[in-house]
Chain A
Amino acid sequence: MNKERAAAASFVVSLISSVGLIAWYFTGGGPRGEGILLGLALGGMGLGVVIWAVFLMHSPTETEERPPLAEDAERATGAPEVTRRTLLVRLLGAAGVALGGGIAVPALSLGPRPGQSLFKTAWTTGARLVDRDGNLVRAADIGLREVLTVFPEGHAGSADSQTLIVKVDPATLDLPEGRDDWTPEGLVAYSKICTHAGCPVGLYRSESHELLCPCHQSTFDVLKGAEPTFGPAARALPQLPLAIDENGYVVAQADFSEPVGPSFWNMT
């Protein structure tokens, strides 16, 4: 085909599409039409330009010299030299470092010091459990093979206090030493924040009694103190000691006994 005619046809397609795009916009628009028309407008013009450049332009192969990048050694020695003054150099260096510190220090205003915030959650002794809407949780509300995300009363939706509670047959529990009175009526609660990368451990496999993190597939055994059984998490999910108060509400005996969520250097 005649190349010039092909380029011309491309430009015509582009022109019509651009007009169409404007019309499409004013008649209501929509992503599909916008994408197609914009694509044709740009593509037609691009194709035309390329055909023009590749087939209709005379561009002979040329050769250009490539002079060396570095100067000759003689020319480089022309610059005046700075005599070496050790004291000045050292003081300037020290002042420079200090100045760097002085300039950088306002950056510390960007965030608070971690302090105790990584060690504590909003759980307190006797805090009643509520669901994400703030409704109090009774022991009778949770059946076998159910799972519920709970928070301390007054902190519904709190990111670092989010906790999963499930009910299991107490006889099947095989918890670490000292947790025998943490699970009234087979209610077991663990921090919902993965000890690997901090995602909410939202998957409960109710038959194998395992919790699974959707981010990196760390798996935790509910019956065995949420010890990791698969995946990259190395630490068990902290367990929340539970009790049932005189009105039948589930309460926490205390805060988690270790930091929740991903590990950090001074956590122990």
Chain B
Amino acid sequence: MSGIHPVRWIDERVGAGHWARKALKKVFPDHWSFLLGEVALFAFVILLATGVFLTLFYRPDASQVIYDGPYAPLRGQEVSAAYESVMRLSFEVRAGLVMRQIHHWAALVFMASIVVHMLRVFFTGAFRKPREINWLVGIGLLLLALAMGFTGYSLPDDLLSGTGLRIAYSVLISIPFIGPYLAFLFFGGEFPTEGIISRLFVMHVMLFPALIIGAITTHLAILVRQKHAQFKGEGRTETNVVGKALWPSQVFKSVGLLLLIAAILAFMGGLIQINPIWSYGPFDPTTASAPAQPDWYVGWLEGALRLFPPVEFSVFGVTIASTFFPGVVIPGLAFGVMTMWPFIEARLTGDHDVHHLLDNPRDVPGRVALGVGALAFFIVLTLAGGNDVLALTFDLGVESVTNVLRIAIFVVPLLCAGIAYRVAKDLSAQAPGSMLSPPTTGGRR
């Protein structure tokens, strides 16, 4: 094997040998959990690739046309041009449906991988000084990804996505003083409006992707500048990085990871049906089918809307609508605390030092308790978003499911937090060496 010399190749052409050599020799600590962020990155790459294909067939047009395609139950019906184009993509464009399904599965996995990556960062304390900025960029990415998912979910203009859009409008309108104005600006009038589809399209294919790419670039630039954090271990200090050079093994592993994730999504896209818009039918503002759920990452917001008690009141003539607390205040608080967490924790612990060595989660039981409690809170809310599906699946009354979850939303997070605190404490007191902490010597297991 003669060997591959990328540095010489680049140097001979653009004279960037010094930079390239430095970049390729850059040392990254290797721990499997450090690859979780890469999963999110690669899912996004797959979203871009499949998304470009879909864009070439999609028509962001709400005007009504007569469906005349191969799906018999809709033939002759009035549908929007947008819906018709997604139907054509799903039934007539060769490889169209598999691309659409890969795109949708990739979106769901993208969001999941962001959450898992974020949990890793949170539990290991990787958000502490000097990485607060990257935590903020990460929160921005999470919000952008949510916006991306929601706008994309709405584009096919089917009955289910139209229902989601309608709920978003209703939540927007509930904001005191500015709600109706905001909603009318965003939607271009009273729901449903013709213009919203093309607006969502511009956001989904141009505005949000551009912002996400910008934010990812910033995220990675800061990571490179600061060098990756590492777990404690022999020879690892706050002033060094112990790991493997980028070239060749890290690059190969990452390329392999990208390909394997793409493979999983391709299998899912071909073998598991997702969002069969032909079953839901075109959007019709006068009907809704049950069960009606958003994609999983909006499920916790949907759950908050379903669980919140019927509270609506008037203060000095200003009506506080029933959707305002669960739809605006709760997510606002949740994201507020999440965003500010690095600063809150520094304030609470009084720890303003630089940390390049990560915590073993069990060594910080308080943080573990908070994280597990918050996670349980979101999981219960997400389950509540599917309360009618739970009722149907387990043959229960939907009221009973709702009432149980209304209690569980307080009890389960506290219980989980308490148990997590105990377990972390016990583990910390017991053995040195767990799943997350690497062995003390680099070479042996």
Contact = CB atoms under 8 A, between A and B. Distances in A.
The answer on direct contact between A and B (beta carbons under 8 Å) is yes
Interface of A: 25, 28-29, 31-36, 38-43, 45-50, 52-54, 57, 59-69, 107-108, 110-114, 117-118, 132, 149, 157, 159-160, 162, 192, 195-200, 202-203, 214-218, 228, 230-235, 261-268
A243 B166 CA distance: 31
Contact of B27 (A62, A159, A264): A62
Which among A61, A162, A202 has the highest number of chain B CB atoms within 10 Å? A61
A31 B269 contact: yes
B242 A50 contact: no
B269 A159 contact: no
Which 3 A-B pairs rank lowest in CB-CB distance, beginning with the nearest? Answer: A35-B270, A46-B259, A43-B263
A231 B391 CA distance: 15
A31 B239 contact: no
Contacts of B387: 217
A228 B310 contact: yes
B164 to A, nearest CB: 9
Contacts of B317: 266, 268
Interface stretch (B55-63, B189-197, B210-218, B423-431): B189-197
12 contacts: A28-B94, A39-B267, A42-B259, A42-B266, A43-B264, A53-B256, A59-B250, A65-B239, A65-B241, A68-B239, A198-B170, A199-B166
B64 to A, nearest CB: 11
A57 B181 contact: no
Give the one of B176, B177, B227, B285 with max A CB within 10 A. B285
Given A63-B241, A114-B180, 16 more contacts: A31-B98, A31-B101, A35-B269, A42-B263, A50-B253, A53-B256, A54-B253, A62-B27, A62-B244, A118-B190, A149-B287, A217-B398, A263-B319, A263-B322, A265-B174, A265-B321
A125 B248 CA distance: 79
B130 A25 contact: no
A46 B262 contact: yes
B393 interface: no
B2 interface: no
A132 B260 CA distance: 50
Contacts of A36: 267, 270-271
Contacts of A261: 170
Most buried by B among A28, A157, A234: A234
A60 to B, nearest CB: 8
B388 interface: yes
Contacts of A29: 94-95
B185 interface: yes
Given A262-B170, A262-B173, A265-B319, A202 B253 contact: no
B243 A265 contact: no
B381 interface: no
Interface in B295-341: 302, 305-312, 314, 317-323, 326-327
A111 B98 contact: no
A180 B95 CA distance: 61
A38 B270 contact: yes
A50 B256 contact: yes
B70 interface: no
Interface in B255-289: 255-260, 262-264, 266-271, 284-289
A111 B182 CA distance: 9
A198 B27 contact: no
A199 B167 contact: yes
A62 B242 contact: yes
Contacts of B169: 198
Contacts of A117: 189-190
A195 B163 CA distance: 15
Contacts of B351: none
A48 to B, nearest CB: 8
Nearest to A230: B399
Nearest to B289: A214
A192 B432 CA distance: 62
Contacts, number: 278
Interface residues of B, number: 102
Interface string B42-78: 0000000000000000000000000000000000000
B226 interface: yes
Contact of B259 (A43, A57, A192, A217): A43
B165 to A, nearest CB: 10
B285 A33 contact: no
A47 B256 contact: yes
B238 A66 contact: yes
Contact of A267 (B95, B240, B271, B319): B319
Nearest to A117: B190
B170 A63 contact: no
B302 to A, nearest CB: 8
B187 interface: yes
Contact of B249 (A25, A59, A218, A234): A59
Contacts of A35: 98, 101-102, 266-271
Contacts of A41: 263
A202 B287 contact: yes
Given A45-B259, A203-B290, A217-B387, A232 B310 contact: yes
B252 interface: yes
B184 interface: yes
A159 B285 contact: yes
A217 B306 contact: yes
B80 interface: no
A268 B408 CA distance: 35
B78 to A, nearest CB: 10
Contact of A62 (B167, B185, B188, B243): B243
Contacts of A59: 244-245, 248-250
Contact of A232 (B186, B322, B388, B442): B322
Nearest to A24: B95
B286 A149 contact: yes
Nearest to B271: A35
A232 B309 contact: yes
